Structure 1
Amino acid sequence: MRLQHPWRLLAGVIAVLLLAVGAYAGWLLWSTARSLSSAADDARSLRVAIEAGDDRAIDAAFANLSDKASTAKDSTDSPVWSLMTHVPGFGDDARGVRIVSRAAAGLTSGGLADLAHQAGDLDALLPAKGGIDLATVQHLQKPVADGHAALARADEQLSAENPSGFVESLRLKYRDLHRQVRDAADALDVADKAMRVLPTMLGAEGERHYLLVMQNNAEIRATGGLPGAVSLVTAKNGKLTMTKQVPGGALGEADEPVLPLSKEETDLFGEQLGTYFVDANFTPDFPRTAALMKARWEHVEGGNVDGVISIDPVALSYLLRATGPVTAAGVAITADNAVDELLHDVYVDIPEPSDQDVFFRQVAAAVFAKLTAGGGDRSQLLSALRQGANEHRLLVHDFHPAAQTVFAGTAVAGELSPANDKAPQVGIYFNDSTGAKMSYYLRYDVQVTSTSCKDGVQSFAGKLTVKSTAPADAASLPDYVTGGGQFGIDAGNQIVNVQIYGPQGGSVGPIRTNGKNDDAQQVGTLSGRPLRQIWLLLEPGKSADVDWAMRSGPAQTSTAQISMTPSVEVITRTVEAGSAC
């Protein structure tokens, strides 16, 4: 029998096929989305398990994550999915889901597997029994390197697709995933470099000596505070020992700068930058501060300093959350009272400076012993270190180039001019000019806004509010706190030096204080950065409003990075100003 209208039958068959393919595609899309959603949940479970150090939970979460990621990849590698990537109005989204699936599968089947399964060994990277186990460090070098390589590949895959054409829900999740992968890749990049040099830094190839400097925010300096208690820490075959403790002031004054100073440095800070150990951080550039400290220590105490590590009492309080309290001179120092005890109460309760030095030495030794003994909460300890670094309260400089490459460009480097050609760098730094401990009462808030962008140059408006929270009767406080009227400054008042640095190749406009031009402002440059600095007299309870304009250098079109001196106050500060370009 002859078929009538065969094209109608063919059309019907095609319609049925299209419906079947569409239904399958819809099911495939739903199934893949469900797998990826479940994979995201498993990834969160894996992170929680790793932070808790739960080996059994780590293995279970990773197995589930790997299974879901593999299922999603198999689905998106199918011919039907390939067809969906060419469908108008839908193809972009299909390609995005395929890239995410491939990236997730690559991570779980690649270098992250060994690192995740050995996460329990990461505890050995924290101090215990007086040191760090070098054998474990060396054992983890390959898993960390492989994990970094896997994340770098995933970052490259995700970077290859522009998500701007995705539907909003997918676009937001894609960008969030990409950001997390990139952040993790950057973190493991640092960890990979660190693992390579850590054995040497810990004395595997001979003793290493580090200065551990406690910065006292009660007498503010550009990098944090006056270098008060100074300890020499020796590393040998992984063992860490505090071998000497010296008050920063006991290192005295040199007849001439311990290192040659540039004309810029002399003009801005005077020769005392290089003659006094406790003034070595008038400059906000920590690598320079570390070099000056090293030179002065070696001149007075002898020996060789391989690196400088700095921390302040606020960061110390973060560490005490993990380790628990310590006791010095019969005083319990806890996470809650460390800042007050170390930056104010000690000067009220212990009037003699030499006895204060003994107290600070005891605190430093007790915290060091507690940290190196181990036993604290790993998750809280890592959180404390991360918070201290992000707030620039924890700074590290190693004088061996191979080791310093690990720290350069990171939050702990404390560099005045980090290498980033496209991101404008803005700095607001403070130095006490009272010669006292009144910075305990110093508070400030900074706002920087990008107001326009023309020909690749951004314009910024800056505003700074500086306030003294000292009580009305501050003059009655001990002379060691107020300065006792020395240098012609009435007891209870404080003079604060404010340094405002613009981006390299840019400019800083005139500074206005309380709406008036500041005639005493000084204009200069340091390490290629333009700057202006002023001095503010603050009476108890009084404040000052400072504003200025600045411009970026050419082609600095990215988000501006804002760096500032960490203070006594434990707050989260804005560290970026969105680009107007």
Structure 2
Amino acid sequence: MTPSSGGSESSSRNHGDGASDRRHESSRSHHSGSGGGSGRSHRHHHGSSSRRRKEQQKKRRKRIIVWSIVGVLALLVFCVVWVGVRGFLAVGELQAAVPLAKSAQQQVVAGDTKAAQQTADELAGHAASAASLTGDPIWRGAEVLPGIGPNLEVMRVVAASVDRIARDAVVPLATSAATIDLASFAPVDGRIDLQPMIDVQMPVHGARIAFDSADAALANVQDAQVIGPLADARYELTSLVDEAGATVIGLDNAVRLLPPMLGADGPRDTLLLFQNNAELRSTGGISGALANVHAEGGAVSMTRQASTRDFPKFTPPVIDLPADTKALWSDNTASYIQDVNFTPQFPLAATIAREMWRLQYGAEVQSVVAVDPVMLSYLLRATGPITLTTGEQLTSENAVQFLLSDVYEQYPVSQQDAIFADAAATAFRALTAGGLDTQALIEALAQAGTERRILVWNADASEQAVLAGTTLAGGLPESDAETQNFGVYLNDQTGSKMDSYLDVQVGAGTVTCRNDGLPNYEVVVKLTNTAPADAATSLPPYVTGGGVFGTPPGNIRTTVHVYSARGTYNLGVALNGEPTDSRPATDTGYEVSKVVSRLAPGESAEYRFGFLGGEAGEKFTATEATPLVSTPETLGVALSCESALW
């Protein structure tokens, strides 16, 4: 039993061990097989995973690119919408703002200060909004885009310019006008209150700077190609800046210069030259009457009057003339008071007149002011009619006719100077007595200044510098990069008062026909003697000259000097389409061409003065001319290479 059991147990254990060994072996074998195959399976699994990662990376990159594109497009859409909406809103603000600027100006001049302030505040609100809408970084960034960019830039500049004008010009001026009555600028009982002028010097000068800044900004985008409505807005604003800016410049000059000239800093004497346009000189006419005006603390009085008959011929000339001036006009310019303004350079003419007055009366003036009868007629709009001691009543309508024509027919030569002096003194009293129409006075002075009928020179260099470049200074024409300016100056050679019958038309044009690109300029001057056919007998000898200086009675003999810019070249003159004798010259660097015209009653002559530009590129042409009884008509001059004379 025992051995049998033991054997069985042993057999069973051995059997179990064998099975276990086989399972273990199988397990090892399986494990070994798995392990052996594991290297190959692991490498296969690793390659598949790498491909999946690459595919996932590609998908991620695609998603990034897609979303980036979507983002950029969304940003562009946002920017377009942003700019478009803000641009639309800005247009509305500008359309509301620009007309208000002119309204505010008119209200200030009219003295409606309350309305001017309200308009100015409304303007400022619209302008500030337009500037804010067009001044953000997104807008500025969009300005680089082709096509739309220039439009955005112009809109931004227009908006910023309106904002600058509103903020620094219109609002301060409207505020100042509300605190100062414009009537305070007018004389009362021979005295002008200078403090109101002094009080507005800073806001007025600030307004001038604002307009200058706007003008410069608009000039920078003047040639940008933009859509029609925006081009119209740019033109409208540019016109407003030009017009209102000129008024502000004149006002700035006035409030800076008038206080010292009216004695704010001490006694001041000013020599008035009353130019007679019936006998032409370059700046207007002979100095038929003169007067000394004394000012002290705003109180003004006319202390001495004189006529040309009170002055001798000064020998030697009172100053040594520049060589160019002497060659053009002779020593007569510095020898006779009637001839001081042969030269078109008023500062020189004023210097000569000042020295003659000193030598004759022992008094040295600090300023010289030239005016003419046409300006007097403008001033009579503000004073109303004045009555002379002879009983004649002068009005704004009849003053020019009486002083430049009727007086010669109605009174002998011995009384004429007294009548001119009486007219000057009576007008001066009317201007200084009070009760003026202030708005009419401002408009009269502005019109006279624009037409060069009032010229001012100050011995003080700093005061004269204020006038530099203005029509009041009476300098030679200045050209710039855009404009070629010419001066047309007329001087009577008849020795008479026939120039009331001289009709003048002036124009200029340009054309480029040369391979080197230098432009040709032509200045056209058409003169006509409108005197009656029987002028030799129907007009008094004092008017016709009586032939004393070699011109037949009724004829008009005139020298015409045309000044061209520095750097140009004189090409000669044609008379009625044919070359004619002319005298080329220079004056302080300017090219000058001179002809002498003699016209019988009813006769006309057309002179064409040719000049070659000194640099390639055509410029806009403009002319300034001697102030006449009537403003010269402007001729349209259209040139072609076939029609040009040179």
Q: Where does 1:236-315 land on structure 2 (aligned, <5 Å)? A: 236-315=296-375
Contact 2:383/2:430 (8 A) holds in 1? yes
1:492 counterpart residue number: 554
Q: Deviations over 1:474-506 (max 9, x none)?
A: 122211111223133332222222223332232
Q: Deviations over 1:395-419 (max 9, x none)?
A: 1111110111122211122212547
Greater shift in the superposed pair: 469-478 or 571-580: 571-580
Residue 340 of structure 1 and its aligned partner are, at CA, apart by: 0.9
1:350 counterpart residue number: 411
Measure, in 2, the Cα distance between the counterparts of 1:577 and 1:190. 33
Contact 2:275/2:284 (8 A) holds in 1? yes
Cα 1:544/1:71, change in 2 over 3 Å = closer
Query: Are residues 1:41 and 2:102 paired?
Result: no
Greater shift in the superposed pair: 226-235 or 138-147: 138-147
Amino acid at match of 2:92: R
Contact 1:422/1:556 (8 A) holds in 2? no
Cα 1:268/1:182, change in 2 over 3 Å = closer
1:395 counterpart residue number: 455
**Which one of the candidate residues 589, 607, 614 is aligned to 1:546?**
607
Q: Deviations over 1:339-374 (max 9, x none)?
A: 1100010011112x2311111111111211222234
Give the length in aligned residue pairs: 573
Measure, in 1, the Cα distance between the counterparts of 2:149 and 2:563. 48
Amino acid at match of 2:621: A
Query: Equivalent pairs: percent with the same residue?
Result: 34
Contact 2:529/2:600 (8 A) holds in 1? yes
Measure, in 1, the Cα distance between the counterparts of 2:517 and 2:473. 28
1:64 counterpart residue number: 122
Measure, in 1, the Cα distance between the counterparts of 2:454 and 2:168. 34
Contact 1:258/1:295 (8 A) holds in 2? yes
Measure, in 2, the Cα distance between the counterparts of 1:501 and 1:156. 28
SS at match of 2:490: strand
Measure, in 2, the Cα distance between the counterparts of 1:212 and 1:288. 15
Measure, in 2, the Cα distance between the counterparts of 1:319 and 1:576. 34
Contiguous gaps of at least 5 residues in structure 1: 1-5
SS at match of 2:572: coil
Query: Are residues 1:506 and 2:568 paired?
Result: yes
Q: Where does 1:112-261 land on structure 2 (aligned, <5 Å)? A: 112-120=170-178, 121=180, 122-159=182-219, 161=221, 164-178=224-238, 180-181=240-241, 184-185=244-245, 188=248, 191-192=251-252, 194-261=254-321
Residue 257 of structure 1 and its aligned partner are, at CA, apart by: 0.7
Contact 1:163/1:174 (8 A) holds in 2? no
Cα 1:79/1:305, change in 2 over 3 Å = closer
Q: Deviations over 1:133-154 (max 9, x none)?
A: 2211221122123323433444
Measure, in 2, the Cα distance between the counterparts of 1:258 and 1:579. 48
Residue 25 of structure 1 and its aligned partner are, at CA, apart by: 6.1
Give the TM-score of the pair, scaled to structure 1.
0.88
Contact 1:194/1:406 (8 A) holds in 2? no
Measure, in 1, the Cα distance between the counterparts of 2:216 and 2:596. 48
Residue 126 of structure 1 and its aligned partner are, at CA, apart by: 4.0
Contact 1:217/1:440 (8 A) holds in 2? yes
Measure, in 1, the Cα distance between the counterparts of 2:348 and 2:517. 31
2:60 counterpart residue number: none
Greater shift in the superposed pair: 388-397 or 28-37: 28-37
Contact 1:134/1:199 (8 A) holds in 2? yes
Amino acid at match of 1:500: V
Measure, in 2, the Cα distance between the counterparts of 1:485 and 1:290. 31
SS at match of 1:136: helix
2:540 counterpart residue number: 478
Residue 536 of structure 1 and its aligned partner are, at CA, apart by: 2.1
Greater shift in the superposed pair: 17-26 or 300-309: 17-26
Query: Are residues 1:101 and 2:140 paired?
Result: no
Greater shift in the superposed pair: 146-155 or 264-273: 146-155
The structure in which a higher percent of residues are helix is: 2
Residue 301 of structure 1 and its aligned partner are, at CA, apart by: 1.2
Residue 191 of structure 1 and its aligned partner are, at CA, apart by: 4.4
Query: Are residues 1:560 and 2:621 paired?
Result: yes
Contact 1:423/1:556 (8 A) holds in 2? no
Measure, in 2, the Cα distance between the counterparts of 1:79 and 1:551. 48
SS at match of 1:392: coil
Give the TM-score of the pair, scaled to structure 2.
0.80
Cα 1:199/1:321, change in 2 over 3 Å = closer
SS at match of 1:118: helix
Measure, in 2, the Cα distance between the counterparts of 1:398 and 1:489. 38
Residue 102 of structure 1 and its aligned partner are, at CA, apart by: 3.2
Specify the structure having the higher radius of gyration (Cα): 2
Measure, in 1, the Cα distance between the counterparts of 2:260 and 2:191. 14
SS at match of 1:509: strand
SS at match of 1:370: helix
Cα 1:178/1:488, change in 2 over 3 Å = closer
1:522 counterpart residue number: 583
Residue 555 of structure 1 and its aligned partner are, at CA, apart by: 6.7
RMSD: 3.4
Measure, in 1, the Cα distance between the counterparts of 2:608 and 2:384. 42
Cα 1:19/1:495, change in 2 over 3 Å = closer
Cα 1:469/1:154, change in 2 over 3 Å = closer
Greater shift in the superposed pair: 33-42 or 567-576: 567-576
Measure, in 2, the Cα distance between the counterparts of 1:552 and 1:132. 49
Amino acid at match of 1:166: V
Amino acid at match of 2:385: P
Residue 187 of structure 1 and its aligned partner are, at CA, apart by: 5.3
Cα 1:9/1:129, change in 2 over 3 Å = same
Measure, in 1, the Cα distance between the counterparts of 2:247 and 2:102. 18
Contact 2:501/2:530 (8 A) holds in 1? yes
**Which one of the candidate residues 318, 337, 340 is aligned to 2:378?**
318
Measure, in 2, the Cα distance between the counterparts of 1:310 and 1:579. 41
Q: Where does 1:13-52 land on structure 2 (aligned, <5 Å)? A: 27-52=85-110
Query: Are residues 1:445 and 2:505 paired?
Result: yes
Query: Are residues 1:73 and 2:114 paired?
Result: no
Residue 258 of structure 1 and its aligned partner are, at CA, apart by: 0.9
Cα 1:487/1:70, change in 2 over 3 Å = closer
Measure, in 2, the Cα distance between the counterparts of 1:242 and 1:556. 52
